Amino acid sequence: MPMKLYTSSVAPNPRRVAIFLAEKNIDVPIVEIDLAKSENLDADFVAKNPLGRVPILELDDGTYLAESMAICRYFEEIQPEPPLLGTDARDKAMVEMWNRRMEFEIMGNVTGCFRHSHPYWEGRIEQVADYGDLCRRNIEERMTWLDGELADRDYIAGDRFTVADMTAVSAFDLGKIAKIRIPETLVNLTQWYQRVSERPSVAATSPTRKRD
Amino acid sequence: MPMKLYTSSVAPNPRRVAIFLAEKNIDVPIVEIDLAKSENLDADFVAKNPLGRVPILELDDGTYLAESMAICRYFEEIQPEPPLLGTDARDKAMVEMWNRRMEFEIMGNVTGCFRHSHPYWEGRIEQVADYGDLCRRNIEERMTWLDGELADRDYIAGDRFTVADMTAVSAFDLGKIAKIRIPETLVNLTQWYQRVSERPSVAATSPTRKRD
């Protein structure tokens, strides 16, 4: 069986995998799952991932691998160049730290705000409006922190584009739907966002890109 | 400068690192940070980690490495045996998948419930009681799913004890404080919990262990 990626071209976590594959110039056959039609909850999809989440990678041996970062790690292991999860022990750990920080501080709050405040999720999940508000306030604080961190470097984990940038840009682009914007006063963060958004891998996977 | 770990012996994320180090038989000098006294928010700690979170590892070169999983990855890289993050590409990816699932489905819901429902956090964070309730219901559902997954294997990611087990056992032990218990009817999960809790690395780091 050839490898196959079940994914959604509009959701932020699958986008991390799409950027990762583009940076590595790896081409994997795609099966598009329509989240708006809840195709991720269909019986045949749930048989592949009981948690009903995209993306999942079907390996050559028929194993289904879920979780965006697990899929990224698989590709990093089978094709290390260019390194997107770090180089030596220290750098791998620093990239992991920054990616985790982007997941918890940025993506987690953006997702929490989107899921608990946006009409898209009405009836799909149990929304807690006060939690959405809390996440919105958290993200404003975290953006200020991140802006300070970016004062001395071009990318989140250092001088190289890594998975930490993929996580953050995917989160900020999702945030637009929930009216979360990077304030222009945060100059370092604004410049980082522009720099990263211009990369071909990021531009080609933007949720607002022109479709063919 | 010799390596040093700033940590708390009672918190669940630091505990993952403590179990990890015990499994690898690595001894690192510890600086205990008293979270109840908010020592993690003291100026000299925040200078090391602006997010005010434990644990952080001070490397020989003076770098501060935050995030439990980043610290675990560092030690896995410098001392691969015994492998706790997987062996080959496929296994590393599967361990990452299962660890992520334990983080998001189990630890995330236990932490959400604890933080948003327990008196310990009153005045420390803005609590949203309805969100705590939602997490409590989520965890009950996720325990049933995990019990089914454990029908055919001894450990969460397969036949070997890995970081995914460390994340899950740390979460379940934290859950006790928030009155989250594994129901006895979930036989596979109950047996897994007993099996894992008896490991020396897990028993020695239990929050309810006898202190010297």
Is-above-0.80 flag for pTM? yes
CB-based contact A70 B130, cutoff 8 Å: no
Tokens standing for residue B25? 């038989």
Chain B CB contacts of A145 below 8 Å: 50-51
Residue B140 near chain A (CB below 8 Å): no
Strand-pairing partners, residue B57, are: B5, B65
Phi/psi at B192 (5° precision): -60, -45
Strand-pairing partners, residue B4, are: B58
Residue B46 near chain A (CB below 8 Å): no
CB-based contact B51 A134, cutoff 8 Å: no
Does ipTM top 0.90?
A: yes
Ramachandran sector of residue A161 (left: φ over 0; alpha: ψ -120 to 50; beta: rest): beta
Tokens standing for residue B19? 């179990």
DSSP B31-78: EE--TTTTGGGSHHHHTT-TT--S-EEE-TTS-EEESHHHHHHHHHHH
Identify the closest residue of chain B to A72 by CA–CA distance: B93
Percent of chain B with pLDDT over 90: 95
CB-based contact B105 A51, cutoff 8 Å: yes
Residue A135, H or E segment = helix A129-149
Which pLDDT value is given to residue B63? 95
Half-sphere exposure of A198 (CA within 13 A, CB side): 5
Q: What is the mean pLDDT of chain B?
A: 96
Tokens standing for residue A68? 């965006």
Q: What is the mean pLDDT of chain A?
A: 96
Q: Is A5 helix (H, G, I), strand (E, B) or coil?
A: strand
Distance CA A136, CA A138 (A): 5
Which pLDDT value is given to residue B1? 64
CB-based contact A134 B126, cutoff 8 Å: yes
Listed in sequence order, the residues at least 6 apart from B119 whose beta carbon sits closer than 8 Å to its beta carbon are none
Chain B CB contacts of A130 below 8 Å: 128, 130-131
- Which B residues, 159 through 198, put their C-beta within 8 Å of a C-beta on chain A? none
DSSP A63-120: -EEESHHHHHHHHHHH--SSPSS-SSHHHHHHHHHHHHHIIIIIIHHHHHHHHHH-GG
Residue B32 near chain A (CB below 8 Å): no
pLDDT (mean) for B190-197: 98
Listed in sequence order, the residues at least 6 apart from B17 whose beta carbon sits closer than 8 Å to its beta carbon are B5, B7, B55, B68, B71, B72
Residue A3 near chain B (CB below 8 Å): no
CB-based contact B59 A97, cutoff 8 Å: no
The answer, yes or no, to whether residue A211 has pLDDT greater than 60, is no
Which pLDDT value is given to residue B2? 83
B139-186 tens-digit pLDDT: 999 999 999 999 999 999 999 999 999 999 999 999 999 999 999 999
Amino acid at site B69:
M
Helix spans in chain B (H): 12-24, 43-46, 68-78, 89-101, 108-117, 129-149, 163-177, 187-197, 200-203
Lowest pLDDT segment from A10-14, B83-87, B208-212: B208-212
Which pLDDT value is given to residue B209? 76
Chain A CB contacts of B77 below 8 Å: 88-89, 92-93
List domains and CATH numbers for chain A. 4-78 (3.40.30.10), 89-203 (1.20.1050.10)
B20-73 tens-digit pLDDT: 999 999 999 999 999 999 999 999 999 999 999 999 999 999 999 999 999 999
Residue B73 near chain A (CB below 8 Å): yes
